Chains A and B, each alone.
Chain A
């Protein structure tokens, strides 16, 4: 009964979505306030119906109702509750329900909190949101129904992919989806603006918080996936340039570009057409990501669906939305008036540089990800594009951007002074160069460019701190004045600081762990020891034990440093009975220097075991940095200017272009 309720709610949501698409957009064309107003209750109803469907599916999972085919295929009785819940979105059908649920949540948020939006804009935005909902609900109802029953109901389910039974991965998909789907807001606003044929600074002010929220979720989602790969896949890598990783990285790159270009549009009324295009491209890349991951084009832990009908359906959705949006763009974009002149050396110029590099880097990832697929379908050639390709294309692009980042916030709008900006960054530059020299002097092995990479990371952090220090006059004013300025400084300035400093932390973590990781692969018998990075690991032996739904072989290692006992590491191998597969559970000792990472391998002859031990210096900074970026976005999100609607801009009486020169 519960499953049928869910199924019914899903179909009803589809019907509501159709109305939500047609009625408000028609009303907006006719200028009929009542028809436009219909969008609000429709969006709210759609969310409630999908929440009901989602809860119904979750109930089926929690109660292990194996008469529902989806539950039978992806769960088992003995599985811990957390993974019964996460299994709801750990399969194709359920994850698509989560996708539309988040879409409806964003729609309902615009309906509920968007009362100060111009009515036609709100109606068009909700209409476009409804249209995306129609496409994906139709997809679910016709090809991926999670509520199908089987009769007779089996007593036990088939289980859940063991590598996905992990806390970080339980929350990785919801955040990733919130990011993907969140960019649909920017998309809907862009389409609404094109339909209306007008766009202003208030538009950018409305789009920015949604984009920022989506970007935050995507940042966290990607970081969680990377963290999971680090400790679960058993060799301590954090990024593989795998197509599914790239699928989430592309919207992140263009979303980051969008955040920065929307800033120019909000503040200076410039780059309108470009911002609209980026909004379309960013959501299109989210759709491409969904397609790549969900269609079975790529084989990976993510590709649950290997049904060609589904792939074709998603391809159709993509063609309609991306093609339609770009056609609308080509038709209507020339109507949008460009404004806001600026000199090449200015805040706008810096943000244009940011956009140039980020979109080109995004294109590099796009080509690298899709070229092998295209080549394979058009020619007999079959190639692989792996990490070396991205190291040669992506990295050289991004390095100049990293060097340029600290300059951006120091340049004035319209016309900046590079010399003055450099002067204010002098301290940060000194610290960065000093760091390079110290690292180069201390470095015993590793590439000679590693110190430069560390220097760039320090430069990013120092530059970010300098900006706030300068704006609150940390070193130039009395304490009372500094505190007053610190309190009055817009939150978004702190947000920028945190986001850019977080990026610096990521850079340091990536460079340090790539350049200086050490490994030791050896065969150990109980009682024997091995040494790595100053640590001594003594192998005490193994013990077999039983977990909730798996059998486990745990290895025990006593770790000491300079004769002093530090900790005991217990890496293990788990064998999952229901699913019939195994996972490697690494054991990690975390210190401020880095991670000591141990993996237990297979037994060898004579009672020995293969043991892999790694020392990954500063690797935690990668995820810490991502977390800092996430919080930076959050701080920025609660900036007053973004919360209080869109105040009217005072018209400048004096032509502002000569003001800078007058000083």
Chain B
């Protein structure tokens, strides 16, 4: 049963590490930004920060793979202003995203939603990682089994082992 314990420990470590990594990702992937015009910036810094975070997740529909936060296109500007108008009315981030998606479709979101038709997208990486680990463990054990059949210790070896262990 101690093998199970080891696996559990490794898994716990892996989960902890993944958690840490996700946090790093979130922290680093925060708003960093760009195209906003001086007259758009909101007076309230907290509200402006939320506006930037939302904008970074919205695609500029007339550009090549840019967020509206990065784009200088007039449409992006309109959308930035729209987001800020909604924020000033006291809407939550999710309400605003829902509103924009209702108007422009899911294509506008740079971070795909966690809905059934995106499950493959979101689960592919962890599943492949797990498969890779399983593959490595299986082929490792198989190569062990082929090359190094573990012969049980003979009675003489056992006696010698216990003698050595007693000494230390």
Same complex: yes
| Shortest Cβ distance from B69 into A: residue | A235
A232 to chain B, nearest CB (A): 13
Contacts A235-B70, A391-B28 hold; do A400 and B132 have CB atoms under 8 A apart? no
User: Which residues of A, 461-515, contact B by the 8 Å Cβ criterion?
Assistant: 510-511, 514-515
Interface string of A344-388 (1 = CB under 8 A from B): 100000001000100110011001100100010001011111111
Query: Across the interface, do B65 and A242 meet the contact criterion of CB distance under 8 Å?
Result: yes
Q: Within 8 Å of chain A (Cβ to Cβ): is B21?
A: yes
Q: List the A side residues contacting B125 at CB < 8 Å.
A: 360, 363-364, 367, 393, 397
Interface string of B126-143 (1 = CB under 8 A from A): 001100110010001001
Q: Within 8 Å of chain A (Cβ to Cβ): is B117?
A: yes
Query: Across the interface, do B124 and A367 meet the contact criterion of CB distance under 8 Å?
Result: yes
Contacts A242-B64, A386-B67 hold; do A395 and B29 have CB atoms under 8 A apart? yes
A514 to chain B, nearest CB (A): 5
Q: List the A side residues contacting B110 at CB < 8 Å.
A: 384-389
Which stretch from A31-39, A94-102, A138-146, A518-526 is at the chain B interface?
A518-526
Query: Across the interface, do A448 and B21 meet the contact criterion of CB distance under 8 Å?
Result: no
Q: List the A side residues contacting B59 at CB < 8 Å.
A: 384, 386
Q: List the A side residues contacting B159 at CB < 8 Å.
A: none
A360 to chain B, nearest CB (A): 5
B13 to chain A, nearest CB (A): 10
Contacts A388-B29, A610-B37 hold; do A356 and B70 have CB atoms under 8 A apart? no
Query: Across the interface, do B24 and A235 meet the contact criterion of CB distance under 8 Å?
Result: no
A325 to chain B, nearest CB (A): 20
Contact of A395 among B24, B124, B132 (CB under 8 A): B24
Contact of B29 among A300, A367, A391, A610 (CB under 8 A): A391
| Shortest Cβ distance from A400 into B: residue | B17
Query: Across the interface, do A395 and B21 meet the contact criterion of CB distance under 8 Å?
Result: yes
A140 to chain B, nearest CB (A): 27
Interface string of B52-95 (1 = CB under 8 A from A): 00001101000011110010100000000000000000000000
B41 to chain A, nearest CB (A): 7
Contacts A383-B107, A383-B112 hold; do A237 and B25 have CB atoms under 8 A apart? no
- The answer for the CA separation of A300 and B132 in the assembled complex, in Å, is 34
B85 to chain A, nearest CB (A): 19
Which stretch from A199-207, A449-457, A542-550 is at the chain B interface?
A449-457
Q: List the A side residues contacting B120 at CB < 8 Å.
A: 367, 371
Query: Across the interface, do B121 and A387 meet the contact criterion of CB distance under 8 Å?
Result: no
Query: Across the interface, do B121 and A368 meet the contact criterion of CB distance under 8 Å?
Result: yes
Q: Within 8 Å of chain A (Cβ to Cβ): is B26?
A: yes
User: Which residues of A, 597-644, contact B by the 8 Å Cβ criterion?
Assistant: 601, 610, 612
A444 to chain B, nearest CB (A): 15
A448 to chain B, nearest CB (A): 7
Chain A interface bracket (under 10, 10 to 19, 20 to 34, 35 or more)? 35 or more
User: Which residues of A, 37-54, contact B by the 8 Å Cβ criterion?
Assistant: none
| Shortest Cβ distance from A374 into B: residue | B120
Query: Across the interface, do A385 and B24 meet the contact criterion of CB distance under 8 Å?
Result: no
Contact of A383 among B22, B67, B109, B143 (CB under 8 A): B109
Q: List the A side residues contacting B66 at CB < 8 Å.
A: 240
Contacts A360-B125, A379-B117, A387-B29 hold; do A521 and B24 have CB atoms under 8 A apart? no
Contact of B28 among A236, A375, A393, A453 (CB under 8 A): A453
Query: Across the interface, do B65 and A610 meet the contact criterion of CB distance under 8 Å?
Result: no
Q: List the B side residues contacting A236 at CB < 8 Å.
A: 34
Query: Across the interface, do B121 and A371 meet the contact criterion of CB distance under 8 Å?
Result: yes
Q: List the B side residues contacting A387 at CB < 8 Å.
A: 29, 56, 67, 110
Q: List the A side residues contacting B8 at CB < 8 Å.
A: none
Q: Within 8 Å of chain B (Cβ to Cβ): is A69?
A: no
- The answer for the CA separation of A178 and B25 in the assembled complex, in Å, is 32
Query: Across the interface, do B111 and A389 meet the contact criterion of CB distance under 8 Å?
Result: yes
Chain B interface bracket (under 10, 10 to 19, 20 to 34, 35 or more)? 35 or more
Contacts A382-B105, A388-B110 hold; do A301 and B121 have CB atoms under 8 A apart? no
Query: Across the interface, do A341 and B17 meet the contact criterion of CB distance under 8 Å?
Result: no
Contacts A363-B125, A384-B109 hold; do A449 and B34 have CB atoms under 8 A apart? no
| Shortest Cβ distance from A520 into B: residue | B38
Query: Across the interface, do A364 and B65 meet the contact criterion of CB distance under 8 Å?
Result: no
| Shortest Cβ distance from B128 into A: residue | A363
Query: Across the interface, do A341 and B148 meet the contact criterion of CB distance under 8 Å?
Result: yes
Query: Across the interface, do A356 and B133 meet the contact criterion of CB distance under 8 Å?
Result: yes
Contacts A384-B108, A522-B38 hold; do A301 and B28 have CB atoms under 8 A apart? no
Query: Across the interface, do B107 and A382 meet the contact criterion of CB distance under 8 Å?
Result: yes
Q: Within 8 Å of chain A (Cβ to Cβ): is B100?
A: no
- The answer for the CA separation of A447 and B125 in the assembled complex, in Å, is 26
Q: List the A side residues contacting B143 at CB < 8 Å.
A: 338, 341
- The answer for the CA separation of A274 and B146 in the assembled complex, in Å, is 18
Q: List the A side residues contacting B102 at CB < 8 Å.
A: none
| Shortest Cβ distance from A240 into B: residue | B65
A500 to chain B, nearest CB (A): 20
Query: Across the interface, do B133 and A521 meet the contact criterion of CB distance under 8 Å?
Result: no
| Shortest Cβ distance from A366 into B: residue | B124
Contact of A521 among B27, B36, B147 (CB under 8 A): B36
Q: Within 8 Å of chain B (Cβ to Cβ): is A323?
A: no
Contact of B57 among A360, A388, A515 (CB under 8 A): A388
- The answer for the CA separation of A250 and B67 in the assembled complex, in Å, is 23
Q: Within 8 Å of chain A (Cβ to Cβ): is B30?
A: yes
Q: Within 8 Å of chain B (Cβ to Cβ): is A392?
A: yes
- The answer for the CA separation of A234 and B125 in the assembled complex, in Å, is 33
- The answer for the CA separation of A301 and B17 in the assembled complex, in Å, is 38
A195 to chain B, nearest CB (A): 24
Q: Within 8 Å of chain A (Cβ to Cβ): is B12?
A: no
- The answer for the CA separation of A517 and B21 in the assembled complex, in Å, is 21
B64, B65, B122, B132: residue with the most chain A Cβ atoms closer than 10 Å: B65
Query: Across the interface, do A610 and B21 meet the contact criterion of CB distance under 8 Å?
Result: no
Query: Across the interface, do B28 and A400 meet the contact criterion of CB distance under 8 Å?
Result: no
Query: Across the interface, do A359 and B22 meet the contact criterion of CB distance under 8 Å?
Result: no
B19 to chain A, nearest CB (A): 8
Q: List the A side residues contacting B67 at CB < 8 Å.
A: 386-387
- The answer for the CA separation of A514 and B41 in the assembled complex, in Å, is 21
Contact of B33 among A381, A450, A519 (CB under 8 A): A519
Q: Within 8 Å of chain B (Cβ to Cβ): is A243?
A: yes
Q: List the B side residues contacting A386 at CB < 8 Å.
A: 57, 59, 65, 67, 110-111
Contacts A235-B35, A237-B34, A243-B65 hold; do A521 and B121 have CB atoms under 8 A apart? no
- The answer for the CA separation of A517 and B24 in the assembled complex, in Å, is 17
Q: Within 8 Å of chain B (Cβ to Cβ): is A399?
A: yes
| Shortest Cβ distance from B40 into A: residue | A521
Residues of chain B touching chain A, judged by Cβ–Cβ distance below 8 Å, are: 17-18, 20-30, 32-39, 41, 56-57, 59, 64-67, 70, 72, 105-112, 117-118, 120-122, 124-125, 128-129, 132-133, 136, 140, 143-144, 147-148
17 A-B residue pairings within 8 Å (CB atoms): A243-B65, A341-B148, A359-B132, A364-B125, A367-B125, A384-B65, A384-B107, A389-B111, A391-B29, A395-B21, A395-B25, A396-B21, A396-B22, A400-B17, A447-B28, A519-B34, A521-B41
Given A341-B147, A364-B128, A449-B28, 10 other A-B residues pairs in contact with their CB atoms under 8 A: A235-B70, A242-B64, A363-B128, A375-B117, A391-B28, A396-B18, A448-B27, A514-B28, A521-B38, A601-B72
